Amino acid sequence: MTNLKSQTSAVLLGLFAATAFADEVQVAVAANFAKPVERIAAEFNKDTGHKASISLGATGKLYAQIRNGAPFGILLAADDATPQKMGKEGLSVPDSQFTYAIGKLVLWSAKPGIVDSQGEVLKKGAFQHFALANPKLAPYGLAGEEVMKKIGVFNAIQPKLVLGENITQTYQFVATGNAELGFVALSQVIKDGKITEGSAWIVPQNLYNPIRQDAVLLAKGKGNAAAELFLKYLKSDKAAAIIRSYGYELP
């Protein structure tokens, strides 16, 4: 009986200590990963007692904010090049970079029957406005540009482009009808493995460079228990299941 009480006390003491010394980490996250990271952060907060606060944006803009001193402890980028660059600039912790998801690009319209299953709508060009995330800021926009150049339609579509600051704004352009169609992240339009509305073409991955989305521990996150634990949590089975449910692949 005494041993049981001692064990119970030890567990309670451990939980109290974890809560008493709980840390918070500010996580900069590429906009395409908004839905998965909200769920992962909620589970992380519940399971660990630490807190992950999420800030969304285009990878290029988040990089600029970090360079200018933003208090982020982690970056979840939409590419692998930005974290690599940050490592060379001394903005991140050495050897902390890893791929947390591989993104997929989709040509999408909020209306049924607009986008065909082979993406031939791009060659026909029977639309007035086409949404694309700014390729200079957003890796999904760069991937979309690669697709259009590869199939030979970029010059024809370029005058019709409506550029979003990030993939969230790009999605909103299409969802509201301000653009008839556009390239967005598959994770934005999929639920339980199915496109939830409108019409779509999941772009074959041989038409654009793989969108390897890498995470990195930033210099300001070094020594922060929440930051270091969140990166480990991102590799857990629970996080992996959430990531896959939004159409991402895992490395």
Give residue 1's pLDDT: 46
How many other CB atoms sit within 10 Å of the CB of residue 176? 9
pLDDT at 179: 98
The pLDDT value given to residue 21: 63
What's the structural domain count of the chain? 2
Q: Look at residues 233, 224, 231 and name the one whose alpha carbon lies nearest to residue 22.
A: 224
Residue 180 structure tokens? 């008839």
Residues of the chain with pLDDT under 50: 1-20
Q: What contacts 92, CB < 8 A, 6 or more positions away? A: 75, 83, 86, 216, 217, 218, 219
Tokens 């991955």 map to which residue? Answer: 205
> Residue 14: inside a domain, yes or no?
yes
* Domain shared by 98 and 110, yes or no: no
Predicted pLDDT at 12: 36
CB atoms within 10 A of CB 53: 13
Q: Do 123 and 197 share a domain, yes or no? A: yes
Range of the domain at 85: 2-102+211-245
Asked if residue 91 and residue 131 are part of one domain, the reply reads no
pTM reported for the whole predicted model: 0.84
